[in-house]
């Protein structure tokens, strides 16, 4: 859970020296039962420019969310009452902020009902602070753009429907596999941000499966998404991949 340097699979050394993604005073609810984790997150996020509230259980988090409108929730998936939060419907009128889960790789399948629908993302533990901050920024950016009323991400004429696990570009439905859908969602939530092969592998499969598997997955997705102009999926050689329209970066 510490900032560290690593070697990126796309080639070259990927250090966490670049400027970390920062907040702008957004209200963030941290839900963590372990005092050490709660302290690490609250200290880190406050230093990064966020305003922090804390909850120690899922039940307490729901109570706080009912009383206050948060911009984002960062939640530890190891909470004892975590699974129950994915069942049933939330209380009428309850604002559902974007949620970033801190999850163990072996718990991802169990957490699928909690991850969707809506704006959800996860970081696998042990996590790096830079990755948490970057994922938070991606979720907040997507929420600010507000592409869909149900929270599904979109970019231009490319949109997801998380309630049906369906992707469209214009009037055309894209026939995507589950892995392709997860990858496309990750690229959309992080539009105009270069994602390394390691990041993609950990998000799509929960681990890194090597350059060839990721390149093949990207190639299949690109053929389906970029059958029409403008092309939206791009390669940044030596660094990774990004989604967006060339000339609209930033």
pLDDT for 55 equals 93
Residue 248 in domain: no
pLDDT for 147 equals 45
Instruction: Check the CA dihedral 164-170-171-172 and report its sign.
Output: negative
pLDDT for 97 equals 80
Q: Are 225 and 185 in contact (CB under 8 A)?
A: no
Residue 198 in domain: yes
Instruction: State the maximum Cα–Cα separation within the chain, in Å, rounded to a whole number.
Output: 51
- The count of domains in the chain is 2
pLDDT for 247 equals 66
pLDDT for 202 equals 81
- Grouped pLDDT means (10 residues each) for the chain, 250 residues: 42 42 82 92 91 90 85 87 53 67 66 52 83 83 55 81 85 91 89 88 77 91 93 93 76
pLDDT for 101 equals 86
pLDDT for 110 equals 53
Q: How many CA atoms lie within 13 A of 32 on its CB side?
A: 22
Look up the CATH number of the domain holding residue 226: 1.10.10.10
Do 169 and 201 reside in the same domain of the chain? yes
Among residues 86, 115, 145, which one ends one of the domains? 145
pLDDT for 225 equals 96
pLDDT for 96 equals 72
pTM equals 0.52
């Amino acid at each position: 859970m510490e900032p560290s340097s690593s070697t990126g699979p796309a080639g070259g050394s990927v250090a966490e020296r670049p400027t970390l993604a920062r907040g702008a005073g957004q209200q963030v609810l941290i839900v963590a039962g372990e005092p050490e984790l709660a302290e690490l997150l609250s200290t880190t996020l406050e230093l990064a420019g966020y305003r922090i509230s804390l909850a120690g259980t899922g039940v307490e988090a729901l109570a706080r969310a009912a009383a206050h409108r948060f911009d984002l929730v960062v939640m530890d998936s190891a909470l004892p009452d975590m699974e129950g939060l994915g069942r049933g419907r939330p209380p009428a009128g309850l604002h559902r902020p974007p949620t970033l889960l801190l999850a163990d790789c072996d718990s991802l399948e169990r957490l699928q009902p909690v991850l969707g629908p809506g704006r959800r993302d996860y970081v696998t533990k042990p996590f790096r602070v830079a990755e948490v901050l970057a994922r938070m920024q991606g979720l907040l950016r997507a929420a600010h753009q507000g592409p869909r009323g149900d929270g599904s991400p979109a970019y231009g004429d490319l949109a997801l429907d998380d309630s049906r696990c369906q992707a469209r570009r214009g009037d055309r439905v894209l026939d995507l596999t589950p892995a392709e859908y997860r990858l496309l969602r990750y690229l959309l939530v992080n539009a105009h941000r270069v994602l390394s092969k390691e990041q993609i592998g950990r998000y799509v499969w929960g681990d890194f499966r090597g350059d060839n598997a990721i390149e093949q997955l990207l190639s299949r997705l690109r053929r389906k998404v970029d059958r029409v102009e403008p092309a939206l999926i791009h390669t940044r050689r030596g660094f990774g991949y990004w989604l967006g329209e060339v000339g609209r970066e930033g």
